[in-house]
Amino acid sequence: MLRTPPDYEYASVEDARIEEEYRLAPNDELFFRLYTNDGERLVDPISPITQQQIRGDHNYRIEFDGYVKIPVLGRVKLSGMTLREAERFLEERFSEFYNRPFVQLRVTNNRVIIFPGGRGGTSRVVYLENTNTNLFEALAMAGGIADGRANRVKVIRGDLNDPQIFLINLSTIEGVKNADMVLQANDIIYVDPRERVPQRIMENIGPYLTLFSTALIIYSIFK
């Protein structure tokens, strides 16, 4: 499963590590909240928050084209932005309608798929509560590398018709430095399973052994 040819050219892990923050992507569910007056009521211990300070408190989905439909603003493109960039962008847009707007955003459905290298039934879909979750943290949430090759951990990212594939070696201290790469929405983490040579040999010669034993039984009966 998900094997690559020996001469496959993997994407540069250094390029992936440039992305130090999670970037919004299509199908992300955003929890959106808008306050006025720079959100002063968030930290005001005397006056409680009233509905007049809150203009929105809902979930919105980023559509396939990277746009999300938000009240007042309509459709705006947020895909590719970090949460900080998206909050700043929305605050600038809402400043046309509200006094010193303060925006809070949170991704609520960020997830990755992990195949930890075990045989059968060990794959997991892991929801990432921390937006800037790295590879090590995600593997830990999945229970670690089950029975796979730590020197061949693949991170598959982007359009599955033409994905980026990163190969990471977690078997050495030097390779572990690359495990701090921040995961993006819908990344697939695949740990190559260990080669089981005796089992593969038995699988290959099994049909011939069955045929041979059947022939011996028939020969014994007629003998």
Residues 64 and 98 in one domain: yes
- Look at residues 134, 83, 74, 78 and name the one whose alpha carbon lies nearest to residue 107: 83
Asked if 169 and 188 count as a contact pair (C-beta separation under 8 A), the reply is no
Q: What is residue 214's three-state secondary structure? A: helix
Q: What is the pLDDT, as a whole number, of residue 164?
A: 85
Q: What is the pLDDT, as a whole number, of residue 65?
A: 92
Asked if 79 and 24 count as a contact pair (C-beta separation under 8 A), the reply is yes
Q: What is the pLDDT, as a whole number, of residue 125?
A: 87
Supply the CATH number for residue 141's domain: 3.10.560.10
Rounded Cα–Cα distance for residues 112 and 135 (Å): 10
User: Domain limits at 119?
Assistant: 13-21+110-194
Count of the separate structural domains present in the chain: 2
Q: Is residue 73 part of a domain?
A: yes
Q: What is residue 93's three-state secondary structure? A: helix
Q: Is residue 223 part of a domain?
A: no
Q: What is the pLDDT, as a whole number, of residue 42?
A: 53
Residues 72 and 141 in one domain: no
Query: pTM for the full model?
Result: 0.67
| Beta strands at 188-193 and 111-115: parallel, antiparallel or unpaired | parallel
Q: What is the pLDDT, as a whole number, of residue 17?
A: 62
DSSP track, 178-204: GGGPBP-TT-EEEEEEPP-HHHHHHHH
Q: What is the pLDDT, as a whole number, of residue 16?
A: 66
Query: Which residues in the chain land under pLDDT 70?
Result: 1, 15-20, 39-57, 118-121, 195-206, 208-209, 212, 219, 222-223
Structure tokens at 83: 């949460």
Q: What is the pLDDT, as a whole number, of residue 90?
A: 94
Structure tokens at 94: 């809402």
